[in-house]
Amino acid sequence: MSKLDKLDKVLGEALEQLVVAAQTLSECDDIDDKQYLTNIGGAVAKIWDIRDSIYQNHPNLKPDFVSESDENQISFEKQDKLSREAEEYELNGDFIAATDSYKQLLACSTIGHFKRIAEAGLFRVCNES
């Protein structure tokens, strides 16, 4: 693995951990999370700016879902919306609605990234029900 591959993977992991941090922060009742969530969102945007810059110079590093989203923005946006909706239902403990949304996402997934999200989400919510 090249150093650039490693950097891309570390940045990807950082993005995933920021999402976990935002979800965890949202669950904290004793913290006014609005400003913190805004800051986390800014950090996510900055990391994506770094990745986009790397991908412009080294397109071979670009993950499939990024390439696929570039090719069909409308499909990407639809799948992204369903993904966020399903995750929101899941976070709120509405596993029936989450299951429905993940099933819809799986049925329309043309992008591998969203198919994996749907499959993982269905696995989690089926184990919660």
Each residue's pLDDT, cut to its tens digit, for the chain (129 residues) gives: 789 889 988 998 898 888 888 888 878 888 877 788 888 888 988 898 898 899 889 888 877 666 666 667 788 888 889 998 998 898 888 989 999 999 999 898 876 778 888 888 888 888 765
Written as one string, the DSSP assignment of 29-88 is TTS--HHHHHHHHHHHHHHHHHHHHHHHH-GGGS-HHHHHHHH-HHHHHHHHHHHHHHHH
CA distance 10 to 66: 16
In the chain, what's the furthest Cα-to-Cα distance?
A: 46
